Amino acid sequence: MAKIVLEDISKFFGNNQVLKNINLEISDSSITVLVGPSGCGKTTTLRIISGLESASSGKIFIGERNVSRMDPKDRNVAMVFQNYALYPHLNVRDNINFGLRAKKVKIDEINRKVANVVDFLGIKELLSRYPSQLSGGQQQRVAIGRAIVRNPDVFLFDEPLSNLDAKLRIEMRTELLRLHKHLKKTAVYVTHDQEDAMSMGDTIIVMQKGEIIQMGTPQQIYQNPSNMFVAGFVGSPSMNLVKGTITNNLFTADYNTFSIHVNGDYGDVYLGIRPENIILKHAVQRQIVTESFKAEVEMSQMLGSKLIVNLRIKGLIIKALFDEQYFDEISIGNQVEVVFDRSKLHYFEEKNNNRINISL
């Protein structure tokens, strides 16, 4: 068993507190993704799990072992850095077997393990090359091979896809998922890219300013963001957030831009609506929708089979995502009539940005 438990982990760099009482439990054999903007503490959390940083307070458990005071070499974790950290003075074979040689494993066993790993990753022909002679994707495979060969309890990945181009990124996501399915080990990924997070994780942990804001499955995070930060961070294009008030069962956007009937009286709020939940009125099928609003098409961007459209409703600009079949009617300057999917509306309190759960 190799679940990871962090209890009351705090970290200070000088007077700057970068982690504030982090409590989390990562299930055995799961993929957990730490996601958040730069400086949120996700990499520091990863480094504390690995032992490269020590926590200022709190405890860390890997499996049943309290590893809080253990050196990285004794924690039986493997880490893949953003820049892969391949040893430039060693060829691929020696890079992969480095950890085994460090542990003084017998040469026969080293050779056997390396052979298995290179076969699995398809990098047998690279063994005599040096890191400078490899492409980015090949370097990543070698770094992963170096991690796998040690048979660690936990895999830690620090921004594993950041250095790859868009096409390779998508390929490697699939590759990493295939790998995880085969190895069945606990894996923790750190990324600032919410798309990577949503596509790879069994569990997503959204962090901001040293705190865990929300933890859940990708679906939970996407469909029920607990606050405005999560709502705006997850999803591409990001959620539209419209300021207004809910008074006497009516949401009114600022400057009377539009109004929507809603249950309750909550004062100053933000309404959140994802671009894909804004629907052309004539395209409504079985969704329960709000009142319709007239909007002017201000700008549109083609994304293959989808269009990102900037709609102006009086003085307010919101982004919508339409299917390419409506390309002809979405011309700049055209007036369109849109509705919102009522079941996909989100409301957040203005004073603390927290979600308000309102029934339909």
Partner 1 sequence: MQKLGLNVIVYSLTTIALFYVCFPFAWLMMTSVKPSSLIFRPDVLIFTPRMDSWIAVLFNSGVPGYALNSIIVGVVTVIISIGVGCPAAYSFSRFKTGGNKLRLVILSAEMIPPAILIVPLFLLAYKFRILDSIWALIAAHTTFIVPIITWFLIGFFEEVPKELEEQAMVDGLTRLKAFLWVVFPNIRPGLAAAAVFGFILSWNDTFYALMLTGGHSKTLPVAIAGYWTFRGVEISKMAVAMLLSVIPALTAMVFVQKHFIRGLGSQGIKG
Are 65 and 59 spatial neighbours (Cβ–Cβ below 8 Å)? no
The answer to the question of residue 87 lying near partner 1 (CB under 8 A) is: yes
Nearer of residues 51 and 218 to partner 1, judged by Cβ: 51
344 contact partners, CB below 8 Å, separation of at least 6: 223, 273, 274, 277
Query: Pick from 12, 23, 54, 81: which binds partner 1 (CB under 8 A)?
Result: 81
The answer to the question of residue 83 lying near partner 1 (CB under 8 A) is: yes
Number of residues that bind partner 1 (CB under 8 A): 21
For the bound state, the minimum distance from the C-beta of residue 172 to partner 1, rounded and expressed in Å, comes to 19
Contacts (CB under 8 A) with partner 1, residues 151-180: none
The residue behind tokens 């893949």 is 80
For the bound state, the minimum distance from the C-beta of residue 255 to partner 1, rounded and expressed in Å, comes to 51
> Mask: binding to partner 1, 32-51, rule CB under 8 A, as x and -?
------------------xx
Cα 103 from Cα 105, distance rounded (Å): 6
Nearer of residues 73 and 261 to partner 1, judged by Cβ: 73
- Following CA atoms 173, 178, 183, 186 in sequence, which dihedral angle do they give, to the nearest 10 degrees? 40
Question: Which strand (E) or helix (H) includes residue 303?
Answer: strand 293-303
Nearer of residues 52 and 313 to partner 1, judged by Cβ: 52
Nearer of residues 102 and 115 to partner 1, judged by Cβ: 102
Cα 10 from Cα 300, distance rounded (Å): 45
Query: Pick from 8, 12, 54, 73: which binds partner 1 (CB under 8 A)?
Result: 73
The answer to the question of residue 264 lying near partner 1 (CB under 8 A) is: no
The answer to the question of residue 70 lying near partner 1 (CB under 8 A) is: no
For the bound state, the minimum distance from the C-beta of residue 286 to partner 1, rounded and expressed in Å, comes to 52
The answer to the question of residue 11 lying near partner 1 (CB under 8 A) is: no
The answer to the question of residue 85 lying near partner 1 (CB under 8 A) is: yes
Query: Pick from 150, 185, 192, 319: which binds partner 1 (CB under 8 A)?
Result: 150
Cα 245 from Cα 322, distance rounded (Å): 28
Structure token pair of residue 119: 């076969």
Contacts 24+ apart (CB under 8 A), 168-177: 168/136, 168/137, 169/196, 171/137, 172/137, 172/140, 173/199, 173/200, 176/144, 176/200, 177/31
Are 296 and 334 spatial neighbours (Cβ–Cβ below 8 Å)? yes
The answer to the question of residue 12 lying near partner 1 (CB under 8 A) is: no
> Mask: binding to partner 1, 118-147, rule CB under 8 A, as x and -?
----------------------------x-
At 326 the three-state DSSP class reads helix
Cα 212 from Cα 308, distance rounded (Å): 31
Cα 62 from Cα 3, distance rounded (Å): 6
Nearer of residues 161 and 271 to partner 1, judged by Cβ: 161
Q: What is the 3-state composition of the chain as percent helix, strand, coil, each rounded to the nearest 5? A: 30, 35, 35
The answer to the question of residue 52 lying near partner 1 (CB under 8 A) is: yes
Query: Pick from 1, 12, 69, 102: which binds partner 1 (CB under 8 A)?
Result: 102
The answer to the question of residue 333 lying near partner 1 (CB under 8 A) is: no
Name the one range near partner 1 by CB under 8 A: 10-18, 83-91, 202-210, 285-293: 83-91
One-letter identity of residue 165: D
Q: Which residues contact partner 1 (rule: CB under 8 A)?
A: 50-52, 71-73, 77-79, 81, 83, 85, 87-89, 98-99, 102-103, 146, 150
